[in-house]
Amino acid sequence: MTILDNMAYALLLVLAAVFIAAAVRILREYQRGVVFTLGRFTGVKGPGLILLVPFVQQMVRVDLRVVVQDIPPQDVISRDNVSVKVNAVLYFRIVDPERAIIAVEDFMAATSQLAQTTLRSVLGKHDLDEMLAERDRLNADIQEILDQQTDAWGIKVTNVEIKHVDLNESMIRAIAKQAEAERLRRAKVINAEGEQQAAEKLVEAGRALAQEPQAMQLRYFAALHDIAGERSSTVVFPLPMDLLGHFTRRPDGGSEDKQGSD
């Protein structure tokens, strides 16, 4: 073989290697390839070994794994006119590679911008208390709206989680005062309920003592026992009211009041 033949053979080998390198593609299990032939969509291929016609077919790789995207802090004015900063995290994945590549120019940027505007619009319809106490419901509302709007792009929004609701210092102090006032209100209500229950029990005890006069005498003895056990220099002796009645009653059975009336 001449030198020209050797050079031609080497050139053929190089061209064959370039052709094979341009024609062979390997896609992983979580990847799909959107194939275009002379600019026209011809199908979705993968995973595994993919053969393309060099310079005639082009392929765009698409990742089908769940994408975690952070939503930057958004200035939100709640329905009760409170200004807060809210940020969240978005979870989504591609379920239709064809629409994700053809229907939208950049599905990542489009989804991010849509999530920001949806976050502001949804939270602006709720009060501050709902933002702080009902995050699960707000997350579900935002996820449902995003899922409906991104369905045309072949994207499935799996979850949305609100991470932080930042308040200014004055609002934090106002919320703390409100919480303190609520605790005081509950304490007063509980104290009033306790007084009511105690009064009801005293009424029941009075009725029981009125039915059994001997029971009052036993209560007198119990009170004396309690006073004697407290090491006090003062001794209080409870005097039954019936005993006073004997002193005020006349020998003929009438009382002083009755005599005066006569």
pLDDT digits (tens, 9 = 90+) for 109-160: 999 999 999 999 999 998 888 888 888 999 999 999 999 999 999 999 999 9
pLDDT digits (tens, 9 = 90+) for 5-29: 677 777 788 877 878 888 888 999 9
Q: How far is CA 59 from CA 18, 20, 55, 230, in A?
A: 17, 15, 11, 96
Distance CA 262, CA 256 (A): 10
Ranking 63-77, 163-177, 244-258 by mean pLDDT, the lowest is 244-258
Distance CA 69, CA 188 (A): 48
pTM tops 0.75: no
247 against 12, higher pLDDT: 12
Taking alpha carbons only, the member of 102, 83, 130, 100 closest to residue 36 is: 102
Can you give the pLDDT at residue 113?
A: 94
Taking alpha carbons only, the member of 86, 92, 131 closest to residue 112 is: 92
Helix (H, G, I), strand (E, B) or coil at 154: coil
3 against 196, higher pLDDT: 196
Mean pLDDT, range 30-49, rounded to an integer: 92
pLDDT band at 107 (very low <50, low <70, confident <90, very high): very high
Helix (H, G, I), strand (E, B) or coil at 42: strand
Tokens 């949806």 belong to which residue? 118
Q: Is 196 exposed, middle or buried (0-12, 13-18, 19+ CB in 10 A)?
A: exposed
Q: Helices marked H in the chain — which ranges? A: 3-23, 97-102, 107-123, 128-133, 135-150, 169-211, 213-228, 241-248, 256-261
